Structure 1
Amino acid sequence: MNEEQTDSLGFGTRCVHAGQEQPDPATGARAPPIYQTSSYVFDDAGTAADRYALDDDGNVYSRFDNPTVSMLERRLASLENGTAAVATGSGMAALDAATSILASNGDNIVSAASIYGGTHSYFSNMATRRGVEPRYVDTLDPDAYAEAIDDNTAYVHIESIANPSLVVPDFEAVAEVAHDHGVPLFVDNTFGTPALCNPLDHGADIIWESTTKWIHGSGTTVGGVLVDGGSFPWDEYPEKFPEIGTESVAFDGTNFAADFGDQAFAVAARQRAIRSLGDGQKPFDAWVTMQGAETLALRMERHCENAMTVAEFLRDHDDVAWVNYPGLDDHEGHDIASTYLDGGYGGIVTFGLAGGYEASKRVCEETDLAQFLANIGDAKTLIIHPASTTHAQLSEEEQRASGVTPNLLRLSVGIEDPDDIVADLEQAINSAEEA
């Protein structure tokens, strides 16, 4: 079986086989080998020169290319329906690499307001130090994106399922706005995962994702990925995106758009960002993540089923003021979510207690099965109070704009028996309210 044949197979099959269609040619091992090496021997001087000039795609140095990592990259590119992928040391490293390639001093980024607190902090506190201005708009209003974009906009950014408001933007409408202004649509698909959502099929140009979460799924390994959709016409905007569309002084005149076609962004991100910043994913981490990816389709089914059970339980609880889950009919984005999500509405449920800020914080201390920690997408059920943790760096106004209220609790629903999850939440809510 070759790569082309694999890409024609079903999603669950690609979770298992994409990226490593054949046994290891050196040993016959069927499991992917871990190439734990820093560097690679060149056959001759000509080969070495060609690899440094990007005329030969063989390995050079594991800071930015490694055979084990390449297997994971091919698997994730296949699952996201992309042309190529670049694995990074974390999700935030993926965001930083893309921003380094696409934006420079004097540019701006137009982003949905309802996004992960760490992303908001990166835009507002790191990108600004490089002279890049973030502009936040109503996540669900395509006209707001259009009004914010100007000639200096580097990209438009949204999340497939917003963290933590859980609204799903209208991908196609936002993509149309972005493309009308000559800028790419950049989507964080961490909450959606390729098991539920394929933004590249709905107008997105680039995906980024934290592989730490559902793709790996066990809470042991940090990683991220950039996936190139191969759709954006970089060659039509060479001055706007000089790292991709003009001759690179770093590589003796290489023009990534002209020389690498529908993989131009991925190659540029690897060679001009990951190579320089040292943000590539490590071989062992990639190997472990590949093991997790094999069960992604199965796990997401259980995450979604359990999340719906939990959401319905919380909706009927007297001490719960509100529940937010895209799968519920009364969720403000239920119809859009039903359009863009396939096979489930995700593994995150948010809710707030009638007792307010203090009671909601107390729930995190009272759960037993649900673990109080700052992660999502684990096989285990996880809980956190964003206003005092993940979004604490934002002002109350910024928290509200991103969908965080003082009493909001974010629950990452695991794959345990749903009755046990519900029982744990019930006793924790009761204890918190009594306190």
Structure 2
Amino acid sequence: LEALIDAKTKVIFFESLTNPSIDVADIEAITAIANRHGILTVVDNTVATPILCRPFEHGADITVHSASKYTTGQGLAIGGILVEREGLVSKLRANPRYEHFNKPDASYHGLVYVDTNLPPYTLRARLSLARDLGAVLSPFNSWLFIQGMETLFLRMQEHSKNALALAEFLEAHPKVKKVNYPGLKSNANYKNAQKYFKDALCSGLLSFEVASLEEATKIVNATKLYSLVVNIGDSKSIITHPASTTHQQLNEQELIACGVPSGLIRISCGLESAADLIADMKQALEA
């Protein structure tokens, strides 16, 4: 990562838990590199949510979330969340990488973002970007997100418990080549998950590999309880075949390079009975 940084680098952007390869970032290692070069770190914390992972406590500068996922919990609203850590202004002030925060903004009567008493990053996002692009939530979508956040703490615990139970079942099934879930002790991300995730809960997202694209397609189509859509974070369980949907533009070599082989199936575990989720997956694998 450090070898890729040059004078033009503006930000290091990464996911706390990646989708759909389900890897856990070493947040402290990445932020340490960024800080040595005076670069902002932006963490997409959509999958973990602030309930399970708090990147600011490990040195991150900004977190973003697709609120259309776990925040709303039912896939009923489209929106996002942008949060900056307390004291970020000190990293932006007089930093040559971020001149636009330090120079007067002519469109706001010469306002200098680092000279206000307000969070400069989110202030500029609202005043410049939201103004110019019009990307503003409707009141109804905002209300839906508020309703979702009231139950987020409880939902993330149940999503995580269901995902771990399903992951353990899949790991023991002979048709499954590999299971990607950091709650499994056999997983390469287990150590990072124990460090960065609260109470070792690892969210409701997991993926697993079978022998081929054809086998994966057959399994996805054979499920009855899982909904075949590409969203995540719903109260209902979702099954997705990335190679034929979200990553269909990539060839076989590119799929492998980004950790999404053609036999990969992604699951967003919902709030149904874990026994029912396992039973449906068992019949789909053995159909």
> Shorter-normalised TM-score: what interval?
over 0.9
Encode CA deviations 1:327-357: one digit per residue, 9 max, x unaligned.
Answer: 0011111101110011301111111123x11
Encode CA deviations 1:52-100: one digit per residue, 9 max, x unaligned.
Answer: xxxxxxxxxxxxxxxxxxxxxxxxxxxxxxxxxxxxxxxxxxxxxxxxx
User: If you compute each CA radius of gyration, which structure gives the higher value, 1 or 2?
Assistant: 1
Alignment partner of 1:279 is 2:131: no
Aligned-pair CA distance for 1:258? 1.0
CA separation of 1:398 and 1:181: change in aligned 2, threshold 3 A: farther
Q: 1:424 aligns with which of 274, 280, 285?
A: 280
Q: 1:234 aligns with which of 89, 92, 107?
A: 92
Asked whether the equivalents of residues 260 and 267 of structure 1 are also in contact (C-alpha less than 8 Å), the reply is: no
CA distance, structure 2, for counterparts of residue 377 and residue 250 of structure 1: 39
Percent identity for Structure 1 against Structure 2: 38
Q: 2:181 aligns with which of 316, 319, 325?
A: 325
Alignment partner of 1:194 is 2:194: no
Q: 1:316 aligns with which of 165, 172, 186?
A: 172
Question: Which AA in structure 2 matches 1:365?
Answer: N
Alignment partner of 1:350 is 2:207: yes
TM-score with structure 2 setting the length = 0.96
SS of match in other structure, 1:351: strand
Match of 1:402 in 2: 258
Q: 2:113 aligns with which of 227, 247, 256?
A: 256
Aligned-pair CA distance for 1:393? 2.2
Question: Which AA in structure 1 matches 2:172?
Answer: D
CA distance, structure 2, for counterparts of residue 150 and residue 213 of structure 1: 34
TM-score with structure 1 setting the length = 0.64
Aligned-pair CA distance for 1:242? 2.8
Alignment partner of 1:376 is 2:238: no
CA distance, structure 2, for counterparts of residue 330 and residue 245 of structure 1: 48
For residues 176-187 of structure 1, the aligned pairs below 5 Å read: 176-187=32-43
For residues 13-92 of structure 1, the aligned pairs below 5 Å read: none
Q: Which runs of 5+ in 2 are unaligned?
A: none
SS of match in other structure, 1:191: coil
Question: Which AA in structure 1 matches 2:285?
Answer: I
Question: Which AA in structure 2 matches 1:170?
Answer: D
SS of match in other structure, 1:163: coil
CA distance, structure 1, for counterparts of residue 111 and residue 154 of structure 2: 43
Question: Which AA in structure 2 matches 1:247?
Answer: P
CA distance, structure 2, for counterparts of residue 231 and residue 369 of structure 1: 47
State the superposition RMSD in angstroms.
Answer: 1.2
CA distance, structure 2, for counterparts of residue 345 and residue 430 of structure 1: 27
* Length, aligned pairs only: 284
For residues 72-151 of structure 1, the aligned pairs below 5 Å read: 145-151=1-7
Asked whether the equivalents of residues 205 and 231 of structure 1 are also in contact (C-alpha less than 8 Å), the reply is: no
Aligned-pair CA distance for 1:401? 2.7
Alignment partner of 1:303 is 2:159: yes
Aligned-pair CA distance for 1:406? 1.1
CA distance, structure 2, for counterparts of residue 383 and residue 350 of structure 1: 9
CA distance, structure 2, for counterparts of residue 267 and residue 310 of structure 1: 43
Encode CA deviations 1:167-191: one digit per residue, 9 max, x unaligned.
Answer: 1111111101011111100110011
Aligned-pair CA distance for 1:274? 1.0
Aligned-pair CA distance for 1:166? 1.1
Aligned-pair CA distance for 1:260? 3.4
